[in-house]
């Protein structure tokens, strides 16, 4: 049953005529998924359930998770563990430390997966070093360093990793941070309340030091099969197999930098005060007013303005399905995503929430 629900949520985007229930409990029938969902969001921990089955949670910031404080409100908190310490603590928890049960199955879900046997043979400190280097924390030089170290064996060719390497960056409050994601899969066996889940670990480079910043638990093993890339997670997939449709959906068929006259002509509307307003638009099958803004006559952002609070919760879920974990949730319950196509800010408001798309800043 659980696997059916997961597949339904991951792959089905159904047209639904169901309206939102009048609620503040955050339970509603989602207009895309067509299923009854419960969304719970506080300043640190957005989560949602489908028919009572927990699909995604953010571990709370009030206590250590796998040995480290994560998901804090402060971006630059001194409580964050450095990447090496945070990863060491994660692997120690996998071995049963910090009060965690030892899983019956633990798998790497990033570029390191092809080196599982070699990694499992390493001592803890060497394993941490190899994982950080494989996931690009020291860039191209890290792969060269790994090859020279012989940690994973002699004469290993890392040219594919070097060629595929790229920097990831996110922008929060006009500050740019280098960014990477690691992903592990856990199966705790039939005796556990929820048997299997994936954990994603978000790292930011803050003041020249990598920090373990956020952790997200997804009770599913199907994220790879959705063919939507996780920004920040190093992978060597063939880009032609990835479905990028979700990345261009909010742009209404336009591109960043399109000239205002071109947009006016195609929409049949006239700009006023450097913006074009589409009164009867929609996003994620949610009715919205779309506001296209222009800087120096070039398309520079698109805002979707909603008129019911339920659209905020629905937009979180729809954004998660397309772009995965929000990078940050602030004290006002605003959520932030970054990817190659755009930066996203979902603004909470009790009666008129909105979501803003703008070009990704690098």
Q: Are 74 and 66 in contact (CB under 8 A)?
A: no
* Helix/strand/coil for 355: strand
* CA count, 13 A, side-chain hemisphere, 226: 23
Alpha helices in the chain (DSSP H): 2-11, 83-94, 116-120, 124-134, 139-149, 159-164, 245-248, 260-267, 310-323
Measured distance CA(219)–CA(113) in Å, rounded: 20
Residue 331 has pLDDT above 60, yes or no: yes
pLDDT of amino acid 236: 62
* Mean pLDDT (whole number) for 281-307: 97
pLDDT band at 3 (very low <50, low <70, confident <90, very high): very low
Break the chain into its structural domains and give their ranges: 2-57, 83-241, 245-358
Residue 19 has pLDDT above 90, yes or no: no
Residue 261 has pLDDT above 90, yes or no: yes
Residue 25 has pLDDT above 50, yes or no: no
What is the CB neighbour count within 10 angstroms for residue 160?
A: 11
Residue 16 has pLDDT above 70, yes or no: no
* Mean pLDDT (whole number) for 14-27: 38
User: What pTM, to 2 d.p., does this model score?
Assistant: 0.88
Measured distance CA(251)–CA(222) in Å, rounded: 27
Measured distance CA(162)–CA(35) in Å, rounded: 43
What is the CB neighbour count within 10 angstroms for residue 153?
A: 11
Quick one: tokens of 104?
A: 């019956």
**Between 265 and 25, the higher pLDDT residue:** 265
Residue 4 has pLDDT above 70, yes or no: no
| pLDDT tens by residue, 215-239 | 999 986 555 556 677 889 876 666 6
Residue 17 has pLDDT above 80, yes or no: no
Q: Determine the CATH number of domain 245-358.
A: 3.40.1000
Measured distance CA(197)–CA(184) in Å, rounded: 9
């Amino acid at each position: 049953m659980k696997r059916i629900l997961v597949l339904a949520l991951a792959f089905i985007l159904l047209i639904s005529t169901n309206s939102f229930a009048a609620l503040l409990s955050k339970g509603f029938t989602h207009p895309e998924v067509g299923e009854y969902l419960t969304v719970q969001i506080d300043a640190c921990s957005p989560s949602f359930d489908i028919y009572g089955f927990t699909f995604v949670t953010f571990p709370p910031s009030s206590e250590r998770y796998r040995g480290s404080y994560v998901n804090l409100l402060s971006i630059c908190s001194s409580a964050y563990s450095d990447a090496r310490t945070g990863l060491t603590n994660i692997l120690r928890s996998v071995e049963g430390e910090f009060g965690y049960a030892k899983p019956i199955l633990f798998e790497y879900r990033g570029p390191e997966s092809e080196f599982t046997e070699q990694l499992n043979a390493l001592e803890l400190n060497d394993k941490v070093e190899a994982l950080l280097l494989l996931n690009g924390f020291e860039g191209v030089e890290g792969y060269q360093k790994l090859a020279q170290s012989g940690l994973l064996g002699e004469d290993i060719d890392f040219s594919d990793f070097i060629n595929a390497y790229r920097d990831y960056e996110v922008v929060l409050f006009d500050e740019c941070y280098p960014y990477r994601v690691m992903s592990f899969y856990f199966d705790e066996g039939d005796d556990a309340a929820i048997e299997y889940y994936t954990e994603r670990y978000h790292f930011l480079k803050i003041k020249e030091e990598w920090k373990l910043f956020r952790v997200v638990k997804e009770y599913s093993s199907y994220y790879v099969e959705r063919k939507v890339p996780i920004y920040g997670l190093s992978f060597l997939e063939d880009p032609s197999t990835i479905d990028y449709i979700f990345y261009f959906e909010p742009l209404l068929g336009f591109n960043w930098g399109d000239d205002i006259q071109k947009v006016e002509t195609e929409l049949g509307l006239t700009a006023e005060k450097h913006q074009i307003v589409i009164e009867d638009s929609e996003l994620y099958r949610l009715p919205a007013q779309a506001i296209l803004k222009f800087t120096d006559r070039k398309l520079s952002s698109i805002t979707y303005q909603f008129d019911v609070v339920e659209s905020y919760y629905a937009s979180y879920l729809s954004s998660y399905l397309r772009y995965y974990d929000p990078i940050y949730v602030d004290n006002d319950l605003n959520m932030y995503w970054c990817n190659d196509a755009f930066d996203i800010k979902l603004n909470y408001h009790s009666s008129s929430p909105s979501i803003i798309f703008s070009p990704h800043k690098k």
